């Protein structure tokens, strides 16, 4: 049974990746999850320097989902390399570092620093966090901005470059194409949906930041549709995410066109989810007689539905 896949020069042993922002720096989970069994670990977004993020309340639960506005609290790239990366290497984690910037130069600088650090497997470009005002999503919401960040980072690193796309645009596939043209090795999608919740008694927003990003099973069908649209548009490997909580959810994303997936919110509910998902993938491959899991990618069969519609 072959569950592996390639992203640029990087080989992942399976398609299950811990989603950035949902797995701390990985080390928080090292005692309860064998990090080396994951396809990859996408660590919390890093700027050049430390950031305190937003004041609490930072999360609120919504139907089948959660709304968050953490605000990219983080220890900065230098402390990450000094304090977290050695343990991640020791645990043989495939480390995908999610990088952030308020300016183009900051993305480039963070990418350059990480490219010189031993133990970083790939860079995920956070151009899609809905919770910070400057940089980030402003690049991710403009085709020229997306192209500019990806090509600038591309020039300073040999590591696989994976821009993480926002769903808060009209046509996410055009952003995947812009990323592909700029030299990305893969795209990951979707980040959270910009959303809001209000306490009707106090009439105050439930988050200190007023608005936040929606994740969890509530968003899954929209994310699946967006992965499907991107699969029809680009050749790049796609890392799909958005509300994955069961092995069927993983399979749905892969059939829609994802080569790999990230799991975020569900890891909060069940930090032991990884072995269950892996077992489930193996069981499905055995039952469906699939030797190579990548053969499943993008195999959604839409023909019958189209014909039925035409003949009706």
Partner 1 sequence: MAQVYTRDMPVDIDATVMGNRRLSADYNVLAIDAPEIASRARPGQFVMMKTSRGLDPLLRRPFSIFEILRDDGGAPRGVSLLNKRVGGGTSLLYQAESGARLACLGPLGRPFEPVDPPAEAWMVAGGVGLAPFLTLAEALHARATPTMLFYGARHAGELYCVDRFETLGVRVVLATEDGSRGAHGRVTAPLESALSRRPLGEPLKLYVCGPTAMMRACAALAASHGRACDVSLEQVMGCGLGGCYSCVVLARDDSGRPHHTRTCIDGPVFEASRIVWDAVDAH
Footprint of partner 1 (CB under 8 A): 21-24, 28-29, 31-32, 44, 52-53, 55-61, 63-66, 68, 70, 73, 216-217, 265, 267-272
The 8-class DSSP code of residue 80 comes to: I
CB of 91 to partner 1, least distance (A): 14
CB of 52 to partner 1, least distance (A): 5
100 is catalytic: no
Backbone phi, psi, residue 105, to 5°: -60, -35
List alpha helices for the chain, DSSP H: 76-79, 85-90, 104-115, 137-140, 143-156, 172-181, 220-231, 247-256, 265-269, 273-287, 303-311
The 8-class DSSP code of residue 27 comes to: G
Q: Which residues have CB under 8 Å from 28's CB, separation 6+?
A: none
Q: Which residue number, 22 or 260, has a Cβ lying nearer to partner 1?
A: 22
Phi-psi region of 206 (alpha: psi -120 to 50; beta: other; left: phi over 0): alpha
CB of 199 to partner 1, least distance (A): 12
Report the distance separating Cα 40 and Cα 114, nearest Å: 16
Long-range contact set of residues 110-114: C-beta below 8 Å, sequence gap at least 24:
110/46, 110/47, 110/48, 110/77, 111/153, 111/156, 111/157, 111/159, 111/161, 112/156, 112/157, 113/48, 113/77, 113/78, 113/81, 114/77, 114/81, 114/157, 114/159
Q: Which residue number, 128 or 146, has a Cβ lying nearer to partner 1?
A: 128
Residue of 22, 100, 129, 230 marked active site: 129
Q: What is the residue-wise DSSP string for 175-217?
A: HHHHHHHTT-S-EEE--PEEEE-EETTTTEESSTTSEEEEESG
Q: Which residue number, 42 or 114, has a Cβ lying nearer to partner 1?
A: 42
Q: Is the peptide bond before 13 cis (omega within 30 degrees of 0)?
A: no
Q: Which residue number, 60 or 230, has a Cβ lying nearer to partner 1?
A: 60
Q: Which residue number, 131 or 259, has a Cβ lying nearer to partner 1?
A: 131
Q: Which residue number, 18 or 187, has a Cβ lying nearer to partner 1?
A: 18
CB of 48 to partner 1, least distance (A): 18
Q: Which residues are catalytic?
A: 129
């Amino acid at each position: 049974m072959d569950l592996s896949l390639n992203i640029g020069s990087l080989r992942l042993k399976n398609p299950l990746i811990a989603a950035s922002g949902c797995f701390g720096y990985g080390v928080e989970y090292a005692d309860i999850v064998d990090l080396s069994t994951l396809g990859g670990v996408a660590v919390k977004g890093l700027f050049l320097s430390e950031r305190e993020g937003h004041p609490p309340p930072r999360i609120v639960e919504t139907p089948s989902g959660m709304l968050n506005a953490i605000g990219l609290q983080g220890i900065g790239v230098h402390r990450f390399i000094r304090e977290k990366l050695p343990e991640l290497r020791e645990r043989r984690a495939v480390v995908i570092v999610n990088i952030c910037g308020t300016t183009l130069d900051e993305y480039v600088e963070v990418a350059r620093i990480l490219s010189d650090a031993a133990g970083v497997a790939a860079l995920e470009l956070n151009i899609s966090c809905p919770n910070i005002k400057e940089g980030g999503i402003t690049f991710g919401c403009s085709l020229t901005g997306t192209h500019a960040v990806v090509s600038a980072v591309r020039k300073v690193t040999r590591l696989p470059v994976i821009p993480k796309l926002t769903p808060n645009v009209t046509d996410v596939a055009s952003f995947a194409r812009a990323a592909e043209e700029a030299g990305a090795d893969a795209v990951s999608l979707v980040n959270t949906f910009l959303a809001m919740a209000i306490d009707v008694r106090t009439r105050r927003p439930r988050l200190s930041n007023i608005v936040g990003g929606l994740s969890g099973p509530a968003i899954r069908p929209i994310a699946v549709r967006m992965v499907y649209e991107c699969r029809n548009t680009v050749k790049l490997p796609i890392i799909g995410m958005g509300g994955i909580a069961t092995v069927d959810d993983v399979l749905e994303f892969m059939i829609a066109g994802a080569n790999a997936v990230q799991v975020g919110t569900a890891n909060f509910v069940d930090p032991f989810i990884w072995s269950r998902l892996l077992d489930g993938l193996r069981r499905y491959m055995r039952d469906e007689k699939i030797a190579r899991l990548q053969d499943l990618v993008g195999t959604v069969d839409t023909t019958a539905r189209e014909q039925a519609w035409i003949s009706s």
